[in-house]
Structure 1
Amino acid sequence: MFKCHVCGSEEAHSESISEVLNIQGKFYLVENIPAMVCSRCGEEVFSRETTERVRVMLNQETAHVRSIPLEVFSYDDVL
């Protein structure tokens, strides 16, 4: 049974999401990750199996499907 650790809601739906991960200063975009998403607050939760699969994918340097340019902004620069 799902229970959101942020808002306590027990209502969620399955969704495929994308996540940007920063590992030792290098950014990786992982697409189509299966997640449970809280219907109230939008918190995304991954199963242990999904988390482990993503970890193995990145640590074993599985062949990526494509590369994309990434624009970088610093919040401090706009002050």
Structure 2
Amino acid sequence: MFKCHVCGSQESHADWVSEIFKIQGNFYLVENIPAMVCSRCGEEVFSRETTERVRVMLNQETEPIRSIALGVFSYDEAV
């Protein structure tokens, strides 16, 4: 049974999400991750199996399917 650890809601839905991970100063986008998403606050929860698969994907020497440019902003530099 799902219970959101952020807002306590028990309502969720399955979805496919994207997450950005920062590893040793480098950013990696992982798309199409299966997740349970809280219907109230949007918090994303991954199964242990999914978390392990993403960890292995990012820590092995596998090549990404493509690369993208990433714009960088700094909040403390904002006007």
Shorter-normalised TM range: over 0.9
Over aligned residue pairs, what C-alpha RMSD do you find? 0.8
Task: Confirm or deny that 1:69 pairs with 2:61.
Answer: no
TM-score (norm 2): 0.96
- Per the alignment, residue 34 of structure 1 pairs with 34
Q: Which runs of 5+ in 1 are unaligned?
A: none
Task: Confirm or deny that 1:20 pairs with 2:27.
Answer: no
TM-score (norm 1): 0.96
- Per the alignment, residue 3 of structure 1 pairs with 3
In the TM superposition, residue 61 of structure 1 has moved relative to its aligned partner by: 2.5
Q: May I ask how many residue pairs the two structures share in their alignment?
A: 79
Deviations 1:10-33 (A, max 9, x none): 110000000000011000000000
Q: Which runs of 5+ in 2 are unaligned?
A: none
- SS of the aligned residue for 2:27 comes to strand
